Structure 1
């Protein structure tokens, strides 16, 4: 049933598109057909995936597969690290079961395993067929040329820099609009390895978490294309047809070679994620220490998270979130932008079930599921500088705008999901919960959960 809270989410749809139109390089060339088509496609995909019994069962199967993958990964971690992996048999008396969840041993190893499996599936051509299928879909439905369509599809599964590798030889000849679109879509989506990691973090607080995370990354791709085309309109006089043939394909000598190289690629990602989290969390802790010298407000010290909660609370409300949850949700949006989505997911996973309602948690899963953050700006500049060094200056001039497009794309996706009836996701709307934050400088439970062993 369509309710007022669903209509509220339409404010977020209009806001995301309106901001990009206001900042467009050519407001007169607004892509009306693409705007309507992209939003309709997103809505239809959500309705189909969660409304049709067959597809809904398939998504539930994804959740079971993620659980099995996580359990299998833990077996390998336990073999190497023993009781540090959080096994039931601990050599000491356990007073806090939550302390067994250690991010370095429970989440990061999943990335290693998924990267190895992805390489194996690519070698077997299974993942390649899926990627090319999505590429053809983007080409036919959104008017993309072959190579950018393939890179967009690959980005959904492989990551923001890994996806464009498949069309590396085409990158120098892409139009400015197409290059901007690839960067923006990369920040609007996440990679397959991180999808599983996010689902692992949320599985205890969000039913069917794997299905929501997978859906979020897929349907954020058309949102990223749309907002990128609004900000930097396509150039039909330059974008002529080119064949759908990736010139830089990944080749493995054998299945074992695929597993070994995939593990190596995963290790690089794990180290990058861990190092980024350590540095950015440390920097925010330094800022919080300085802000703490200013004294407390509302009975608690001022912090980056509390400030972000107030700044982004109106945006969170526009996504369809009730105002009582808006400061907490706004803080999560700010943390995602400043500290990376990994930290935001960890903090949302630490929020007790009676603090924010399930609808808020579902909407925020879609809003957080993207690489649009300050760290990704550096990742994209470094990656594209290697892939297409002759356009580095051009990329430097558009990467911050692409981050904004990616951030708003996930907000657009969350708004479309918020406009869907709550019953579609198997939960009832508007339930009465424990008191939460008001939109003031009050302590933020998302910033300081009581028992969070992985809380940065």
Structure 2
């Protein structure tokens, strides 16, 4: 999503001709104020010119004083707030927001008033500098490899040997991509190695380090809290019973609200600050071009359409490998608005956040392995990282346009779900009819059943528990051939069932739930019937059954991407419209990019396998009842 430009027109006769709706300017006056009396007109015009001349000369000082006063007021409030109450979650939130805000303001001041150092002496020894950087990369790569090897042996192989299956899955995906690469001899080790290394480090920080796990859990809770405010708007428009139509009125309302919030963040420069620095980091470490690195960074927040718009001026001159990397990054991630919808249907917010972050470097790594660079294209990095500032300071107009743009996303999501779920029902009915003709009735032949067998090996290689491999394979097939929204909707059923089983166990342990049912043989018990769980006490059937927490976590990461057959058409339509001269090249690489995006998600799932001490084996809970 590009910065939203809004034109502000000042009509003649305005009381404040030099100021926009929200902000300040130092423009000159084009037309004087007129009045019926010549004396009054001359007096008002003289006063206006005097005031405006004074403001023009001193506007920077005046606004600087105002900003200093506001800053001092805030820090006074900040100090008193910590003095009044400290130690709770609210104080942590206040400190984090203050630190982030201070860093952002400092960055903006440096960009506005700072000067780049003279690099003339440094540029004279460019070859020496490149040689030094190459040696640094080699030394760092060797050090990281040894550290990862030692960590895997000590922490994984000894403590959680079951996770070695996921490591074998990663090796399988890498070797397969290398064998089927367009130019195996041209594969460069640097982007592949460092892309996977960064992904591994992110996994350690987010999932294995207790502090990082708590930080991302806290961020996930804050995102969920932020999304909950969409209920106010949905309730006002659709009434108190809006949640009864959960998807139409609640989920799509979150998409609109979140899109407006993202538009405001882009308008004030927060998103540019985050995206630009992530892109610079990946380009510097992986050695990828500025454009494809920027695309990967933007995909974390906006998805493929917004990321494509950010690099539109450079698409026409990109190499095929860069176009492949751009498309792979789009397939391997999801947009922020869609992520908000997944959170709302019950998928873990912190896992979705970490999946988006971890899949960005993985997408570049797998893309450069599957379609290595064979051409040379030089581009000016500063042109790539430069963003045009919005012409308007009116935040309300920006929010309005962001909400209006989200209507297309919301209606497209609803239309796709209606179409694909209906088509899936038709396909299943047809397959079931054919299956009945040859005796395949229990279980009936369905599209999901076929996918569960086809993708069972992939689920096992990612580390899914054996008893859940068919279910996860079914989810992968739905995500690949239909879309990830339908797959996450099915996954949410397992998540809800696990919550209900856990609640049921706690209820039976805390109360005499079976009182009055002593004469019944199955009182206080549950029974598995065709993968469904029947609770006799409550006369409730949990359809589809349950999966272990381990399998649910792996599925969450494996499904977190736009890589499906339908998205190929969307990707070709979007990029083809932005770069018409490259439609042929885009069509050539789109299938490979979709496969690479899918495998990037699978690599993230392999790395994100939870350690044993974080997993609560829900199957054991089920066995307790039986």
Normalising by structure 2, we get a TM-score of 0.63
Change in 2 beyond 3 A, CA 1:431/1:300:
closer
Q: Could you tell me which of 300, 305, 322 is aligned with 2:443?
A: 300
Secondary structure class of the residue paired with 1:159: helix
Q: Give the C-alpha shift of residue 248 in structure 1.
A: 6.7
Aligned residue in 2 for 1:337: 480
In the alignment, the residues of structure 1 paired with residue 622 and residue 441 of structure 2 have an alpha-carbon distance, to the nearest angstrom, of 19
Aligned residue in 2 for 1:258: 398
**Correspondence list, 1:105-120, <5 A:** 105-120=249-264
Instruction: Check if 1:281 corresponds to 2:438.
Output: no
In the alignment, the residues of structure 2 paired with residue 249 and residue 159 of structure 1 have an alpha-carbon distance, to the nearest angstrom, of 20
Aligned residue in 2 for 1:440: none
**Correspondence list, 1:223-238, <5 A:** 223-235=362-374, 237-238=375-376
Q: Give the C-alpha shift of residue 61 in structure 1.
A: 2.3
Change in 2 beyond 3 A, CA 1:107/1:55:
same
Q: Give the C-alpha shift of residue 212 in structure 1.
A: 0.6
Asked if 2 retains the 8 angstrom alpha-carbon contact of 1:66 and 1:200, the reply is: no
In the alignment, the residues of structure 1 paired with residue 412 and residue 391 of structure 2 have an alpha-carbon distance, to the nearest angstrom, of 24
Secondary structure class of the residue paired with 1:369: coil
Asked if 2 retains the 8 angstrom alpha-carbon contact of 1:184 and 1:406, the reply is: yes
Change in 2 beyond 3 A, CA 1:250/1:234:
farther
Q: Give the C-alpha shift of residue 41 in structure 1.
A: 1.6
> 1:304-351: CA deviations, max 9, x gaps?
011111111111000001111000000000011112111111100012
Structure 1: stretches of 5+ with no match in the other structure: 87-99, 204-208, 436-456
Asked if 1 retains the 8 angstrom alpha-carbon contact of 2:282 and 2:288, the reply is: yes
Asked if 1 retains the 8 angstrom alpha-carbon contact of 2:195 and 2:365, the reply is: yes
Change in 2 beyond 3 A, CA 1:433/1:139:
same
Secondary structure class of the residue paired with 2:383: coil
How many residues were matched structurally? 413
Normalising by structure 1, we get a TM-score of 0.86
Q: Give the C-alpha shift of residue 272 in structure 1.
A: 1.1
**Correspondence list, 1:392-407, <5 A:** 392-407=583-598
**Correspondence list, 1:366-385, <5 A:** 366-385=557-576
> 1:67-110: CA deviations, max 9, x gaps?
22232111211111114422xxxxxxxxxxxxx46222222211
Aligned residue in 1 for 2:196: 39
Asked if 2 retains the 8 angstrom alpha-carbon contact of 1:202 and 1:349, the reply is: yes
- Point out which structure has higher relative CO (alpha carbons under 8 A, 6+ apart): 1
Change in 2 beyond 3 A, CA 1:4/1:277:
same
In the alignment, the residues of structure 1 paired with residue 211 and residue 270 of structure 2 have an alpha-carbon distance, to the nearest angstrom, of 22
Aligned residue in 1 for 2:612: 422
Q: Give the C-alpha shift of residue 220 in structure 1.
A: 0.6
Change in 2 beyond 3 A, CA 1:105/1:394:
same
Change in 2 beyond 3 A, CA 1:10/1:248:
same
Q: Could you tell me which of 216, 222, 226 is aligned with 2:355?
A: 216
In the alignment, the residues of structure 2 paired with residue 85 and residue 48 of structure 1 have an alpha-carbon distance, to the nearest angstrom, of 39
In the alignment, the residues of structure 1 paired with residue 464 and residue 245 of structure 2 have an alpha-carbon distance, to the nearest angstrom, of 29
Q: Give the C-alpha shift of residue 250 in structure 1.
A: 7.0
> 1:402-432: CA deviations, max 9, x gaps?
11111111011101112x5233xx3346953
Structure 2: stretches of 5+ with no match in the other structure: 1-154, 502-545
Secondary structure class of the residue paired with 2:381: coil
Q: Give the C-alpha shift of residue 357 in structure 1.
A: 0.4
In the alignment, the residues of structure 2 paired with residue 303 and residue 51 of structure 1 have an alpha-carbon distance, to the nearest angstrom, of 39
Instruction: Check if 1:166 corresponds to 2:334.
Output: no
Q: Give the C-alpha shift of residue 26 in structure 1.
A: 0.7
Deviates more, 1:215-224 or 1:16-25: 16-25
Q: Could you tell me which of 241, 244, 247 is aligned with 2:382?
A: 244
Q: CA RMSD in A?
A: 2.0
Change in 2 beyond 3 A, CA 1:323/1:111:
same
Secondary structure class of the residue paired with 2:182: coil
In the alignment, the residues of structure 2 paired with residue 82 and residue 159 of structure 1 have an alpha-carbon distance, to the nearest angstrom, of 31
Aligned residue in 2 for 1:140: 284
